[in-house]
Amino acid sequence: MISERATKTSLFRQKEELGISYAWETGEYAVFEKLETGDPIIGEYMITERFSDGKIEVTDDKGNVLDATGRIMNLFRLGI
């Protein structure tokens, strides 16, 4: 079940646009996922938004943290 504070995150409000889905939350973060689309550019990603300050981080399936405000978020929006 999703909490009220998770529904108030920027990522939750943009989930349709970004093509992401809610996964779970911790005391500190709301966690969303972007699953593989078959396109080699977009793989599997975990996107977190920290409740305390709204900071967003994107982590790929290899554990690399990517720039959440740059190219990767635009790729999500474009559905590439």
| Contact yes or no for 46/36 (Cβ under 8 A) | no
Collapse the DSSP code of 29 into the 3-class scheme (helix H, G, I; strand E, B; otherwise coil) and give the result: strand
pLDDT by residue for the chain (80 residues), tens only, comes to 899 999 999 999 999 999 899 999 999 999 999 886 665 555 688 999 999 999 999 998 889 988 776 778 888 888 76
Residue 78 dihedral angles phi and psi, to the nearest 5° = -80, -15
**Confidence at residue 9, expressed as pLDDT on a 0 to 100 scale:** 97
Q: Break the chain into its structural domains and give their ranges.
A: 4-78
pLDDT at residue number 75:
82
pLDDT at 4: 96
pLDDT, position 57: 92
pLDDT at 40: 59
